[in-house]
Amino acid sequence: MWIVIDPVARESTLEFIVDLHKDSWLMSRSFKDNQAKWFPEGALADLPDIEAARENYPILGWEIEPGDVICFHMLTLHAAAGCRRRVFPYAFWAMTCATLRALG
């Protein structure tokens, strides 16, 4: 969930790639150093280079205002342009996720 504090123009907003999460999980990497920190390197397919061929992907995004809330599935491929904005990101995890992680 993304709760907006400042107005965000369409060109700077959170964007989503429609249905890409339905095929299989993709390798998550850290934002700062692009390292695989949550899954072992090579365990999942790498993300496609969306920016190199944006016209080949159905991309959703909206101009948003303070108080707007965007909710989405955690596996939906999402990103936002690198401009400054203030938002409150919040993730909800089901109890079964915590249980599965704890069991290994």
Place of tokens 């965007």: 70
pLDDT for 67 beyond 50 = yes
Please state, in angstroms and as integers, the Cα–Cα distance from residue 49 to each residue in 2, 56, 57, 103, following that order. 24, 11, 10, 34
- Tell whether the torsion through CA atoms of 84, 90, 96 and 102 is positive or negative: positive
Q: How many CB atoms lie within 10 A of CB 75?
A: 13
pTM of the model: 0.71
Count up the domains in the chain and report the number: 1
Please state, in angstroms and as integers, the Cα–Cα distance from residue 93 to each residue in 58, 65, 97, following that order. 27, 26, 7
Place of tokens 């959703």: 60
Residue 99's pLDDT band, with cuts at 50, 70 and 90, is: very low
Query: Of all residues in the chain, what percent carry a pLDDT higher than 90?
Result: 18
Range of the domain at 77: 2-103
